[in-house]
Structure 1
Amino acid sequence: MSYETGVRWKWIPAVVLGFVLLSWIVFEALDLIDFDGVVTWVRGIDPVWAAAAIFALLVVDVLLPVPSTPLIVLAGTALGLPLGLALAVVGSLGSSAAGYALGRFAGPVLVRRVVTIEELTEMRRWGRQFGPWFFGVARGIPMMAETVSVSAGVSRVSFRTFMSYTLIGTLPICAAYVFAGSKAETVEQIVMISAAGFLLTVGLFYLLRRLVKAAP
Structure 2
Amino acid sequence: MSRALIIILVVILAGILVPFAIWGERFDAVLSLEGTRAWISQYGEWAGLAGVLLLVADILLPVPSTVVMSALGLMYGWFIGGLLASAGSFLAGATAYGACRWLGRPAALWLAGEDGLKQGEQLFAKRGGWLVALSRWMPVLPEAVSCLAGLVKMNVRTYLVSLACGSIPVGFAFAAIGALGNSQPGMAMGLSAVVPVLLWVGARRWMR
Please indicate, yes or no, whether the TM-score normalized by the shorter chain is above 0.5: yes
State whether structure 2 residue 25 is matched by structure 1 residue 11: no
State whether structure 2 residue 80 is matched by structure 1 residue 74: no
Aligned to 2:103: 106
1:82 CA drift (Å): 1.5
Q: Percent identity?
A: 25
1:76 and 1:13 map into 2 onto residues whose CA distance is 26
User: Comparing both chains, which one has the higher relative contact order based on Cα–Cα distances under 8 Å and sequence gaps of 6 or more?
Assistant: 1
2:27 and 2:60 map into 1 onto residues whose CA distance is 20
1:67 and 1:38 map into 2 onto residues whose CA distance is 12
- State the Cα deviation string for residues 110-143 of structure 1 (Å, max 9, x = none): x79xxx75xx899779758845211100111121
Q: CA separation of 1:39/1:168 partners in 2, compared to 1, >3 Å: closer, same or farther?
A: closer
Q: What SS does the aligned partner of 2:16 have?
A: coil
Q: CA separation of 1:97/1:150 partners in 2, compared to 1, >3 Å: closer, same or farther?
A: same
1:20 CA drift (Å): 6.7
2:57 and 2:167 map into 1 onto residues whose CA distance is 17
Q: What SS does the aligned partner of 1:169 have?
A: helix
Q: CA separation of 1:152/1:98 partners in 2, compared to 1, >3 Å: closer, same or farther?
A: same
Aligned to 2:202: none
Aligned to 1:136: 133
Structure 2 letter corresponding to 1:79: Y
Structure 1 letter corresponding to 2:166: G
Structure 1 letter corresponding to 2:58: D
Aligned to 2:57: 60
Instruction: Give the total of aligned pairs.
Output: 173
Q: CA separation of 1:82/1:125 partners in 2, compared to 1, >3 Å: closer, same or farther?
A: same
User: Normalising by structure 2, what TM-score?
Assistant: 0.63
State whether structure 2 residue 175 is matched by structure 1 residue 169: no
Aligned to 1:213: none
Superposition RMSD in Å: 4.3
In structure 1, the gaps of 5 or more residues are: 25-34, 202-216
